[in-house]
A and B are shown apart, each in its own frame.
Chain A
């Protein structure tokens, strides 16, 4: 049974700037929830608070009934898999080693067990990385690396995946691959919270869209309900609308509003 993530009266400031102010939101498993908003709206900060990586100044984040910031960090890490924005991989480890890092919250005193190896192996298979399992991650293309990093999160068998802007630098084909991985995870009962800049990716994968602007939620609905012309104008300062494309809704941008 996967728990909800619930933020209550969440406020956070960084370096004297109010990033989030008095946010209330509940996130449900089995869905892909996209957090949109302009640069500096507080998307990443909200995601870090929801994942328990940083403590809010005021308010609480609950995972089910547990206060996220008071949870034992390894236990939190086993439940919530966090994928930071464009993490540069510091050392030239091979793909299997990197995916295996996702098992760190499970490791006991004696290192990796057969269960850990199996979970790593399954994550590699699921992300279609079998052929590159022994390759050096620093030699991979951006699309391959994105899949390896997602596999790293999947290896931890989390109930939730919190993903910060994964589409940067990916071509349309690789975007589809990545979108499929997140959607599959949500269809299987997990929860996905993802921050995005790319509105078309959000329309394609999200079951629910939350739009942030200046630290406040200005829309929270199904994709078509959330991305209205007035919300798009308010959030991004663009004159745009969602229109019906031949294979689903797409965004039509007319210009600056």
Chain B
């Protein structure tokens, strides 16, 4: 009844482990097994320590954060189309990060980049929830998300066109496209604690999400404090999405696709979906990041772009299926 699907979670965790190891072994430079067996003596060991391990860890963390954020947003809004990317929360986070860079405070105080990204994501979430509270209509909610997405994107584009230097412009483009390239251990140290706190906050909401299956009134009747739930949701999604975007830029569709695929496997229970979505999000981002590296292109594909290229058609198919069910 209220058990978590541990076998599914364990299986997905195994997948993350395998993909994590695979992620360490792909890249521009081929690193033979001998380097792995004799750590520290080959210069290529530096590639592993300074580039590939941070990249794999970040991929895992960001995937987990986005998968969990998507599952939590869907659980709270009772809407399978909710996702930080689709509904503009990621765009708002990107806007926060870009604002920090553009204004220059991001260079003097590096922590301002994630701080403003988290603030941006939190503001995006708050606007969405305010609108979803004011009206029960799913349409209003989705439209509000689309508008947030456009506004966030437009503001970033504005910053881009006014960028003081080509270097700054390039940096801003990275936020728009999303990539795991050249991330350092600093980025890991920055993102992991924030994502961990955010994830713990969101994982604690499982019971409230289950109760919300009966609607807001039903949940309140079951003793769920909806004001508190909403605040924790804004905090958790803000931390997870904000910290993710601050280090990797906008990577869409993870939060949309992952909960949707897993939902039938957990008997559609929103609370049971949180932890599996987190683990499967890790697996998906790791897998996609491996694919962009092994793809035979001269310039490496941007992860966010690749994800949108896969996610876009999936999103359309999801909409079509939902429409058929409602008709």
Q: A residues bordering B, Cβ < 8 Å?
A: 48, 51, 53, 72-78, 80-85, 87-94, 96-98, 100-105, 107, 111-112, 116-117, 120, 149, 152, 156
Q: A97-B267, A98-B213 are in contact. Are A107 and B207 (CB under 8 A)?
A: yes
Given contacts A93-B269, A101-B210, is CB(A116)–CB(B2) below 8 Å?
Answer: yes
B268 touches A92 (CB 8 A): yes
A91 near B78: Cβ-Cβ < 8 Å: yes
The 8 Å CB contact of A94, one of B211, B215, B222, B267, is B267
B27 at the A/B interface (Cβ < 8 Å)? no
Partner of A100, one of B1, B218, B263: B1
- Evaluate contact between A97 and B1: CB separation under 8 angstroms: yes
The answer on a CB contact under 8 Å between A90 and B222 is no
Q: Is the CB of B220 within 8 A of A90?
A: no
Q: A73-B225, A96-B1, A107-B2 are in contact. Are A91 and B215 (CB under 8 A)?
A: no
Known: A93-B213, A107-B207. A112 touches B223 (CB 8 A): no
A117 CA to B171 CA, complexed, in Å: 55
B323 within 8 A of A: no
How many Å lie between the Cα of A34 and that of B171 in the bound state?
66
B50 contacts chain A at the CB level, 8 A cutoff: no
Kindly state whether residue B224 has any CB partner on chain A within 8 Å: yes
Q: Which residues from chain A contact B4 at a C-beta distance below 8 Å?
A: 111
Interface residues in B200-225 (C-beta closer than 8 Å to A): 207, 210-215, 217-218, 220-225
* Closest CB in chain A relative to B189 CB, distance in Å: 31
Residues on the B chain within 8 Å of A96, using CB: 1
Q: A89 touches which one: B1, B214, B263 (CB < 8 A)?
A: B214
Number of residues on chain B facing chain A (CB within 8 A): 25
- B221–A91 touching, CB < 8 Å: no
On whether the beta carbons of B268 and A112 are closer than 8 Å, the reply is no
Can you spell out 17 A-B residue pairs with CB atoms less than 8 angstroms apart? A53-B221, A77-B223, A78-B223, A84-B217, A84-B221, A90-B78, A91-B270, A98-B213, A101-B210, A101-B213, A101-B222, A103-B1, A103-B2, A105-B223, A112-B2, A117-B1, A152-B214
Q: Are A84 and B215 in contact (CB under 8 A)?
A: yes
Across the interface, do B215 and A88 meet the contact criterion of CB distance under 8 Å?
A: yes
Q: B33 to chain A: closest CB distance in Å?
A: 45
Q: Among B2, B224, B263, B269, find the residue whose CB has the most chain A CB atoms closer than 10 A.
A: B2
Contact A91 B2 (CB under 8 A): no
| A84, B218: Cβ atoms closer than 8 Å | yes
How close is B126's CB to chain A, nearest CB, in angstroms? 22
Are B214's CB and A74's CB within 8 A? no
Shortest 10 CB-CB distances between A and B: which pairs? A82-B221, A77-B223, A90-B78, A73-B223, A84-B217, A74-B223, A112-B2, A100-B1, A91-B268, A111-B2
Q: Does B324 contact A (CB under 8 A)?
A: no
Residues 71-97 of B, flagged 1 when their CB comes within 8 A of A and 0 if not, give: 000000010000000000000000000
